[in-house]
Amino acid sequence: MSTPAKKNPDENIEQKKVRKNDKWKKHSPKVAMILSIVFAGFGQLYNRRYLKGTIFIIMELAFLVAFLESINYGLWGLRTLGTIPGTDHSIRLLVLGVLSLIVTVIVITLYVFNVIDAKKQAEKLRDGWKPLKLRASFKEFYDRAFPYIMTFPGLLLMIFVVIFPLLFSVLLAFTNYDLYNSPPRNLVDWVGFDNFKNLVTVPIWQDTFISVFSWTIVWTVVATTLQIALGFFLAVLVNDPRVKFKKLIRTILILPWAVPAFVTILVFSAMFNDDFGAINRDIIIPLLGGNGVSWLSDPLYTRIAIVMIQTWLGFPFIFALITGILQSISKDWYEAADMDGASRFQKFRNITFPHVMFATAPLLIMQYASNFNNFNVIYLFNEGGPPIRGQNAGGTDILISWVYKLTFDTNNYSMAAVISIIMGLIVSGFAFYQFRKTRSFKEEGEI
Amino acid sequence: MNRKQKSRMELAFIYIIIAVVAIIIFYPLVWTVGMSFNQSTSLYSSSLIPENFSLDHYKWLFSPDSDYLVWYKNSLIVSIANAIGSVVLTSLVAYAFSRYKFVGRKNGLYIFLLLQMFPVMMAMVALYIFLNMLGLLDTLSGLILIYLGGQIPFNAWLVKGYFDTIPRELDEAARIDGAGHLRVFWSVMLPLAKPILAVVALFNFMTPLFDFLLPSIVLSSEENYTLAVGLYNFINDQFSNNFTRFAAGSVLVAVPIAAVYLFLQRYLISGLAAGGTKG
């Protein structure tokens, strides 16, 4: 672009500027786009962003050399789940396949970014924008990339700990992976929606599913409501101005929350033992006579015991939470109500209750969601038992503990995956509805 | 019945209710402690107040026969690493979500929160194979990585809720004074968000101590067990034989944890309420 200059220096510079602009006028975003589609970084070279272009080229070369083959293999494995029994390990292939899928999505995202970047920069250059100096463009890059840099380590971890296992288990629901079809001896195959069909048509699955599902709902509603009601009730009682030793009482009431639940459930499980548990031996038999209640072998009593235990475990959190809210309600409200001659119940209904609900609704609703998935209580107390005839789940099994048994006891992985998906959809649908109502969804970001 | 009497009756009624609840709360706890001081090892013969008071089970836990101290150490390693790592990771993520505009800002966290509602049992199979591929199976670092990744969505949501309550004028003022992105984060946001970060640290310190499902799948050799897995195995192997030993081991875990909880409960509640309801 430099031309021999025979005029005086000033004019020379003028002309150069004009020519430079002319030159950029013909710069075509389309060419930049096509070039960067052909090979990442070429478009940037065309835009004369040499450093950026080189980085993209190196990245693509590295990808082609290092990953292409294994990704190809992974995607092949995902499609076929292996072809030679005994040699191809279907589940390992599935894992590799899901990982390849994730890497592919990341690479495609980068590639799209590269194309858009080339096109945008070419447009800007054509419109007379002058590229920044190296330092300034680093600064600009840093500003723009900062939130991505901040979230990157977390995102990477979440992709492997949350997304990857989830994809894997969703895919399992469409295979016939169980005890009889398991690698390395046999291959696993894609079976489409067969597992979902079996769940609603094969009698044993259908019966078990319906009874486990309905108990799960009863359990969630009853146990959670009880713990909230008890916590609320006690918080209001202790908050009464006439009660003394408030601090001590509160500390005692919070105690069940402070002791690891894992320990207390196992302790309860020993205490409720039919034959030599403390509840039967020290309380029921001396008081009521007889042979004691069969807490662990009669489904009805086991259910009652579990609901009571969960109430014991869960009310202190609610109690503490609501105590905090009660203390923050202004006294003026109650004084005004007293002036109007409101009864105690009216004050509770119209002042206390709305205040508490407004402040704690999201956390209370999360309590329901967490009890729906409360594996620990069910499994540690009695491993979901007692067993019930004609079903492959125990009398107190909720969906999550049933899934655990299907996975680790009977190795019926594909059915476990189907039930996991159904549960996930229920809980996340519920939670989605909840999140929609919280405020920060509507709030706008700045900067 | 006059007014004063009525009030006294009510008060007595309140105290009775509280007393009943207190008894129900203390009963299993006292029973466990009593059990741990019982000389015999079985559930059959033991009673609430031990007839033959003995420290045998505690002594056994610290004897060379048991791995209890190793488990304690493992649990502390996992818990401390998880507490520190989670505060670093989550506060970075929450800062970006609270103050910057970027692709995925609006729904990113919520999508992860919703995805996490899917039960983790099947995921365990996937994680098992994945850790195996990386050679991290049966290691504490593999366990820590899974905890760290899994805690981000909920805690980032909590911390973001708290960050949102910090006035933007503060960081804008700092920016005008020439502070960069990290400087604002370090000198403005972090000091103001201490209460919620303490909550996050505490929660993530506690989670590995309470959890037994994940470590029981990831860890297979006894010298790598965490407390929960080790204690569970005391009673899982031969229920009636080792229950008193389990009780002694549990008391030594539960007492320090309960002490910390009771000491910090006020901050826990206010932090949760502030982050959770405003998030």
Reported confidence tier of residue A445, pLDDT bands at 50, 70, 90 = very low
- Quote the pLDDT of residue B55: 84
Q: Is pLDDT at B46 greater than 60 in this prediction?
A: no
Sign (positive or negative) of CA dihedral B263, B265, B271, B274: negative
In a domain, residue A147? The reply is yes
- Of the CA atoms within 13 Å of residue A184, those in its CB half-sphere come to 3
Say yes or no: A271 and A125 in one domain: no
Q: Is A428 on the interface with B (CB under 8 A)?
A: yes
Q: Is pLDDT at A186 greater than 60 in this prediction?
A: yes
Residues in chain B closer than 8 A to A240 (CB atoms): 11, 14
Residue of chain A nearest B43, judged by CA positions: A276
CB contact under 8 A, B277 and A360: yes
Give me the total of CB pairs closer than 8 Å, taking one residue from chain A and one from chain B.
Answer: 274
Task: Quickly count: other Cβ atoms within 10 Å of residue B157's Cβ.
Answer: 23
**For tokens 């009864």, what's the residue?**
A343
Q: Residue B126 class from Cβ within 10 Å (0-12 exposed, 13-18 middle, 19+ buried)?
A: buried
Task: Give the best residue of A105, A267, A380, A438 to mutate against chain B (max B CB count within 10 A).
Answer: A267
Sign (positive or negative) of CA dihedral A27, A29, A35, A36: positive
Say yes or no: A137 and A281 in one domain: no
- For the segment B220-236, what is each residue's pLDDT rounded down to a tens digit? 888 899 988 888 888 77
Q: Is pLDDT at A438 greater than 60 in this prediction?
A: no
Residue with more model confidence, B278 or B197: B197
- Quote the pLDDT of residue A4: 45
Nearest to B254 among A260, A416, A424 (CB): A260
Say yes or no: A358 and A321 in one domain: yes
- Quote the pLDDT of residue A179: 83
Nearest to A157 among B25, B152, B243 (CB): B152
Q: Is pLDDT at A224 greater than 60 in this prediction?
A: yes
- Quote the pLDDT of residue A444: 41
**Nearest residue to A237 via CA among A359, A139, A328, A319:** A319
What separation in angstroms does the CA of B23 have from each of B43, B47, B262? 22, 17, 19
Task: Categorise residue B139: left if φ over 0, alpha if ψ from -120 to 50, beta otherwise.
Answer: beta
**For tokens 């014991």, what's the residue?**
A312
Task: Give the best residue of B17, B103, B117 to mutate against chain A (max A CB count within 10 A).
Answer: B117
- Quote the pLDDT of residue A230: 96
Cα(A359)–Cα(A370) distance, integer angstroms: 19
Domain that holds residue A239: 194-440
In a domain, residue A445? The reply is no
Reported confidence tier of residue A7, pLDDT bands at 50, 70, 90 = very low
Three-point CA angle A89, A90, A94, nearest 5°: 120
Share of chain A above pLDDT 70, in %: 92
CB contact under 8 A, A321 and B96: no
List, as ranges, residues 364-383 from A with C-beta within 8 Å of B. 369, 373, 375-376, 380
Task: Please give the model's pTM, rounded to 2 decimal places.
Answer: 0.82
Cα(A305)–Cα(A296) distance, integer angstroms: 9
The mean pLDDT value of chain A amounts to 84
List, as ranges, residues 49-88 from B with C-beta within 8 Å of A. none
Say yes or no: A249 and A294 in one domain: yes
Task: Categorise residue B99: left if φ over 0, alpha if ψ from -120 to 50, beta otherwise.
Answer: alpha
Q: Is B44 on the interface with A (CB under 8 A)?
A: yes
Is the omega angle on the peptide bond into residue A386 within 30 degrees of 0, that is, cis? yes
**Nearest residue to A232 via CA among A355, A412, A115:** A355
- Quote the pLDDT of residue B272: 66
Q: Kindly state the average pLDDT of the residues A114-143.
A: 82
In a domain, residue A269? The reply is yes
The set of long-range contacts for B8-11, using a CB threshold of 8 Å and a minimum separation of 24, is: B10/A242, B11/A240, B11/A242, B11/A243
Q: Is A110 on the interface with B (CB under 8 A)?
A: no
Nearest to B89 among A154, A261, A447 (CB): A154
Pair of tokens at residue B31: 């029973």
Cα(A302)–Cα(A293) distance, integer angstroms: 10
List, as ranges, residues 30-69 from A with C-beta within 8 Å of B. none
Say yes or no: A244 and A385 in one domain: yes
Query: How far A300 CA lies from chain B's nearest CA (Å)?
Result: 22
CB contact under 8 A, A432 and B261: no
Q: Kindly state the average pLDDT of the residues A377-383.
A: 88
- Please report, in angstroms and rounded to a whole number, the separation of the first and last CA atoms in chain B: 50
Q: Is B274 on the interface with A (CB under 8 A)?
A: no
Query: How far A142 CA lies from chain B's nearest CA (Å)?
Result: 10
Residues in chain A closer than 8 A to B102 (CB atoms): 147-148, 151
- Quote the pLDDT of residue B73: 94
The fold of B66-278 is: MetI-like fold (1.10.3720)
**Nearest residue to B221 via CA among B230, B212, B213:** B230
Residues in chain B closer than 8 A to A255 (CB atoms): 25-26, 29, 258, 262
B226: Cβ–Cβ under 8 A, 6 or more apart, which residues? Answer: B71, B74, B75, B78, B143, B208, B209, B215, B219
Of the ranges A29-33, B73-77, B196-200, the best mean pLDDT one: B73-77
- For the segment A309-357, what is each residue's pLDDT rounded down to a tens digit? 999 999 998 998 888 888 878 888 888 998 988 888 898 888 888 888 8
Q: Is B211 on the interface with A (CB under 8 A)?
A: yes
Say yes or no: A227 and A83 in one domain: no
In a domain, residue A177? The reply is no
Query: How far A50 CA lies from chain B's nearest CA (Å)?
Result: 26
Q: Cα A274 from chain centroid?
A: 39
Say yes or no: A336 and A276 in one domain: yes
Cα(B56)–Cα(B39) distance, integer angstroms: 7
Q: Kindly state the average pLDDT of the residues B127-132.
A: 86
CB burial readout A276-314, b (16+ within 10 A) else e: ebbbbbeebeeeeeeebbbbbeebebbbebbbebbbbbb
Q: Kindly state the average pLDDT of the residues A276-292.
A: 79
- Quote the pLDDT of residue A133: 77
Q: By three-state DSSP, how is residue B116 classified?
A: coil
Q: Cα B221 from chain centroid?
A: 23
Cβ atoms of B228 and B214 closer than 8 Å: no
Say yes or no: A92 and A165 in one domain: yes
- Please report, in angstroms and rounded to a whole number, the separation of the first and last CA atoms in chain A: 40
- For the segment B140-167, what is each residue's pLDDT rounded down to a tens digit? 999 999 999 988 988 888 888 888 888 8
Domain count, chain A: 2
Task: Give the best residue of A96, A98, A262 to mutate against chain B (max B CB count within 10 A).
Answer: A262
Residues in chain B closer than 8 A to A356 (CB atoms): none
Share of chain A above pLDDT 90, in %: 19
A437: Cβ–Cβ under 8 A, 6 or more apart, which residues? Answer: none
Instruction: Give the CATH number for residue A283.
Output: 1.10.3720.10
**Nearest residue to B203 via CA among A440, A371, A317, A362:** A317
Q: Is A192 on the interface with B (CB under 8 A)?
A: no
- Quote the pLDDT of residue A228: 95
Cβ atoms of B229 and B222 closer than 8 Å: no
Q: Kindly state the average pLDDT of the residues B60-72.
A: 87
Q: What share of chain A is helix, strand, coil (3-state, %, to 5)?
A: 75, 0, 25
CB contact under 8 A, B262 and A254: yes
Cα(A126)–Cα(A120) distance, integer angstroms: 10
Domain map of chain B by residue range? 3-58, 66-278
Say yes or no: A140 and A275 in one domain: no
Q: Kindly state the average pLDDT of the residues A3-21.
A: 50
B57: Cβ–Cβ under 8 A, 6 or more apart, which residues? Answer: B36, B37, B38, B41, B244, B245, B247, B248
Task: Give the best residue of A216, A233, A263, A418 to mutate against chain B (max B CB count within 10 A).
Answer: A263
**For tokens 């094969």, what's the residue?**
A202
CB contact under 8 A, B25 and A256: yes
- Quote the pLDDT of residue A27: 78
What separation in angstroms does the CA of A392 have from each of A177, A300, A424, B101? 18, 18, 21, 50
- Quote the pLDDT of residue A20: 54
Cβ atoms of A352 and A326 closer than 8 Å: yes
CB contact under 8 A, A243 and B276: no
CB contact under 8 A, B125 and A92: no
What separation in angstroms does the CA of A290 have from each of A74, A268, A344, B137? 64, 21, 44, 51
Q: What is the DSSP string of A341-358?
A: T--HHHHIIIIIHHHHHH
CB contact under 8 A, B210 and A260: yes
Say yes or no: A160 and A272 in one domain: no
CB contact under 8 A, A153 and B117: no
Residue of chain B nearest A435, judged by CA positions: B110
Reported confidence tier of residue A446, pLDDT bands at 50, 70, 90 = very low
- Quote the pLDDT of residue B279: 42
- For the segment A249-258, what is each residue's pLDDT rounded down to a tens digit? 988 998 998 8
Reported confidence tier of residue B47, pLDDT bands at 50, 70, 90 = low
Cβ atoms of B77 and B59 closer than 8 Å: no
**Nearest residue to B124 via CA among A425, A368, A422, A406:** A406
Query: How far B65 CA lies from chain A's nearest CA (Å)?
Result: 22
CB contact under 8 A, A237 and B43: no
Q: Kindly state the average pLDDT of the residues A206-218.
A: 91
Q: Kindly state the average pLDDT of the residues A390-405.
A: 86
Say yes or no: A165 and A233 in one domain: no
Say yes or no: A233 and A137 in one domain: no
Q: Is pLDDT at A391 greater than 80 in this prediction?
A: no
Share of chain B above pLDDT 70, in %: 90
Lowest mean pLDDT among A360-364, A434-438, B118-122: A434-438
- Where do the H-state alpha helices sit in A127-202? 134-158, 164-172, 194-201
Q: Is A390 on the interface with B (CB under 8 A)?
A: no
The CA dihedral of B37, B42, B47, B48, to the nearest 10 degrees, is 50
- Quote the pLDDT of residue A82: 81
Cβ atoms of B160 and A439 closer than 8 Å: no
Cα(A112)–Cα(A218) distance, integer angstroms: 49
CB contact under 8 A, B145 and A161: yes
Residues in chain B closer than 8 A to A369 (CB atoms): 117
Q: Is B20 on the interface with A (CB under 8 A)?
A: no
